[in-house]
Chains A and B, each alone.
Chain A
Amino acid sequence: MSLVLALETSCDDTSAAVVRGGEVLASLVSSQHELHAPYGGIVPEVASRRHAELLDGMVAEALAEAATGWDDLDAVAVTQGPGLIGSLLVGLAAAKAIAYRRRLPLVAVNHLQGHVAANYALGVQAPFVCLVASGGHTLLAVVEEGVRYRVAARTMDDAAGEAFDKGARLLGLGYPGGRELDALAARGDPRFARFPRAARRGRDFSFSGLKTALLYDLRERDPGEIEAHRADIAASYQAAIVAQLVEKTVAAAAGEGLRRVALAGGVAANAGLRAAMTERCAVEGLELTLPPVVLCTDNAAMVAACGWRVLRLRGPSPLDEPVSPRAVWPRHGGG
């Protein structure tokens, strides 16, 4: 079975993993949330510095945890983008050096396709519809086979994670906002306030109107009412985001004639989304794969899972491969 070392440094989590076939032998993630919390958001230069401080130690630790030697490896996979350019460069430079030194194939991986591939570690079989939702991206991928994907829908404005984070900021919550909002919403009444459930018709997502609706809603309430009902407002706002994600995903599965649905990306860690998607898929008779939270947020195990498939499909990446911080996933175009 193939043994892949993977590095993921696209944003604010430093991660190294060793994966054999579908088995995750080691997956280390060092979160930088506390480092960025004082700034209320991710500071790219701070993130890059921390990646550079941690990555080599995490690679050594991942190999040790996997009880693997350098000689056992078959490939080195690394996130190419999208992400923060300075952060991506740390991972790519290290991965190239390791690949060159060990004469291993280097595989540059699209971060979003990596998120989808996290589901392979759980044994999900293609074809399936995968909702990829994070702080920077929201799309529905139709996974036809391996890493051959087609994008069936994407957001026209904000990403779902962005809507969570901006909503959290409006509600005066701490950082990371999405997680705080999810925790608060669990204690609230989702029927307290009405927010638009699907801002636009059609298959694509839209969240910017929802954020504006929250802003107006809060303006119309006095501070005492907001204080008393913060959890209710959070629950109502979250329910509106979740409803859109669930409805469009289920509609895409129906439209594509597929019975399997999977989640991927940091927003897939949202407890409200997981509960609502589970309930709705059960009603619709859809088979749902919910990756554990550690495989939803950024991690290198997903990069390894994707990398091996990309390597088999397209071959290795050249040593002069650049980072691709603004990489997109074309609506029509396979892996």
Chain B
Amino acid sequence: MNMLAIDTSTNWLTVAVGDETVCKRSFSQSIGNRHAEQLAVIVRELMTGLALETSALDAVGVVVGPGSFTGLRVGISFAQGLALPLGVRTVAINALDALSHQASGLSGQRISPLIDARKGQVYAALYNVGQGHPIPASPQVAMAPAEWLSGLPKGTLVIGNGVETYREMIRHDCRHLVMLEENIITISPPNLYKLCTVAVAAGETLDPGGLEACYIRQADAVCQKDGI
């Protein structure tokens, strides 16, 4: 089995290609908002490097959010565009789940990934770690970081690019929380790829049309109209 996994949910572009067990080639760089320009080129480079034809792909995984609205759509549209003519299955990866998996082998019993949602908010959730696996302990939310962080249990490990944005605030106002010396900013290619392989093995795959962005937050105009 060959698979391609894509993450365009932040200002990083991550692409991973591999077989049924392991990621063989990957790309992961901060590229700003140039995902739509770079994605196809990077995919082609990685596939060519492995001498893989697109027809050899058995599944396409993509991070469906939460994250940059535009980035999510670029990734999902690209994944659908690849999967539709291939007639292959797709895998939807949640960004907060993926970040929590990446930290679940580290210290702490509780993890809260924070993704910078702009507009003074973070996308966040709380996970309890049990037997090395993160188990969701809260809904996924978009809210002001101070509000979210103040409600977290003592000793919760916070990770994600939201930690970079609000590091000073966390350091001064949230002493009950733990930050890593080397923060986990983005979903790593091996982690992304592994989550996709696990999902495929578990039969958690979708038709291309089943891929849906996990926005969490409504469009601003909708919020204003509905008084949210």
- Taking Cβ atoms with an 8 Å cutoff, the residues of A that contact B are 38-39, 43, 45-46, 48-49, 51-53, 55-57, 59-60, 70, 85-86, 89-98, 100-102, 319-323
Partner of B37, one of A48, A56, A59, A321: A321
Give complex CA distance A102, B221 in Å.
38
Considering the chains assembled together, what is the distance between the CA atoms of A94 and B24 in angstroms?
Answer: 25
B81 within 8 A of A: yes
* Contact in complex: B81, A93 (CB < 8 Å): yes
The answer to whether B77 and A46 touch across the interface, beta carbons within 8 angstroms, is no
Excluding A48-B69, A56-B80, A89-B74, 9 further A-B contacts by CB distance (< 8 Å) are: A45-B221, A46-B221, A49-B69, A52-B77, A91-B77, A94-B77, A97-B79, A98-B84, A322-B37
Task: Tell whether, in the assembled complex, residue B36 and residue A93 are in contact, meaning their CB atoms are under 8 Å apart.
Answer: yes
3 closest A-B pairs by beta carbon, nearest first, are: A97-B81, A45-B219, A94-B81
The docked-state distance in angstroms from the alpha carbon of A93 to that of B211 is 15
User: Measured between C-beta atoms, what is the minimum distance from A124 to chain B in Å?
Assistant: 32
Contact of A86 among B40, B69, B75, B222 (CB under 8 A): B69
Q: On chain B, which size bracket covers the interface?
A: 35 or more
Instruction: Select A46's contact among B40, B80, B208, B222, beta carbons within 8 Å.
Output: B222
Q: Which of B73, B209, B212 contacts A48 (CB 8 A)?
A: B73
A56 and B41 alpha carbons, distance in the complex (Å): 21
Q: List 20 A-B contacts (CB under 8 A).
A: A43-B222, A45-B219, A45-B220, A45-B221, A49-B69, A49-B213, A51-B73, A53-B212, A55-B77, A57-B209, A60-B84, A70-B85, A86-B69, A86-B73, A89-B70, A93-B73, A94-B81, A97-B82, A100-B44, A100-B82
Shortest Cβ gap from A234 to chain B (Å): 27
Is B44 in contact with A52, judged by CB distance below 8 angstroms? no
Q: What chain A residues lie within 8 Å of B74 (beta carbons)?
A: 89-90, 93
Min CB–CB distance A9 → chain B (angstroms): 9
**Are B41 and A101 in contact, CB atoms less than 8 angstroms apart?**
no
Q: Does A89 contact B80, Cβ atoms closer than 8 Å? A: no
CA distance A59 to B39 in the complex (A): 21
B15 to chain A: closest CB distance in Å? 12
Interface of A is mostly: helix
Let me know if B54 is at the binding interface, CB within 8 A: yes
Per the bound structure, the CA–CA distance linking A48 and B70 in Å amounts to 8
Report yes or no: B77 in contact with A93, Cβ–Cβ below 8 A: yes
Give min CB distance, B119 to chain A, whole Å: 12
A-B contact count (CB 8 A): 106
Residues of B16-35 at the interface with A, using a CB-CB cut-off of 8 Å, are 34
CA distance A52 to B79 in the complex (A): 11
CB distance from B79 to the nearest CB of A (A): 7
> B172 on the interface (CB 8 Å rule)?
no
B81-A52 in contact (CB<8A)? no
Q: Say yes or no: is B43 at the interface (Cβ < 8 Å to chain A).
A: yes
Question: Is the beta-carbon distance between B85 and A319 smaller than 8 angstroms?
Answer: no
Cβ of A49 and Cβ of B36 under 8 Å apart? Answer: no
Other-chain residue from B39, B86, B208, B222 in contact with A56 (beta carbon distance below 8 A): B208
Q: Which residues of B contact A85 (CB under 8 A)?
A: 70
Task: Please report which residues of chain B, range 86-113, place their CB below 8 angstroms from some CB of chain A when the two chains form the complex.
Answer: 86
B209 contacts across to A, CB distance below 8 A: 56-57, 60
A221 to B222, CA, bound (A): 35
A104: shortest Cβ distance to chain B, in Å? 10
Asked if B215 lies at the interface with its beta carbon under 8 angstroms from chain A, I say: yes
Shortest distance in angstroms between B48's beta carbon and chain A's nearest beta carbon? 11
**B213 / chain A contacts, CB cutoff of 8 Å:** 49, 52
Q: Is the C-beta of B76 less than 8 angstroms from some C-beta in chain A? A: yes
| Identity of the chain B residue whose Cβ is nearest the Cβ of A39 in the assembled complex | B221
* Contact between A45 and B69, CB atoms less than 8 A apart: yes
Q: How far is the CA of A46 from the CA of B218 in the complex (A)?
A: 9
- Given A86-B73, A101-B54, A321-B37, check contact A93 B84 (CB 8 Å): no
B148 within 8 A of A: no
Least distance between A39 CB and chain B CB atoms (Å): 6
Chain B residues with CB under 8 Å of A52's CB are 73, 76-77, 213
| Docked CA distance A85–B54 (Å) | 28
User: In the complex, how many angstroms separate the beta carbon of A3 from the nearest chain B beta carbon?
Assistant: 14
CA distance A334 to B74 in the complex (A): 31
A111 to B177, CA, bound (A): 52
Whether A320 touches B37, Cβ cut-off 8 Å, given contacts A39-B225, A97-B81, is: yes
Take A45-B69, A322-B36 as given contacts and tell me if A90 and B77 are in contact as well, using a CB distance cutoff of 8 Å.
Answer: yes
> What distance in Å separates the Cβ of B196 from its nearest Cβ neighbour in chain A?
17
Most buried by A among B34, B37, B39, B69: B37
- Residues of chain B within 8 A (CB-CB) of A53 are 212
For residue B78, CB closer than 8 A to chain A, the reply is yes
**Complex-state Cα separation, A84 to B87, whole angstroms:** 30
Identify which of A48, A53, A96, A97 gathers the most chain B CB atoms within 10 Å of its CB.
A97
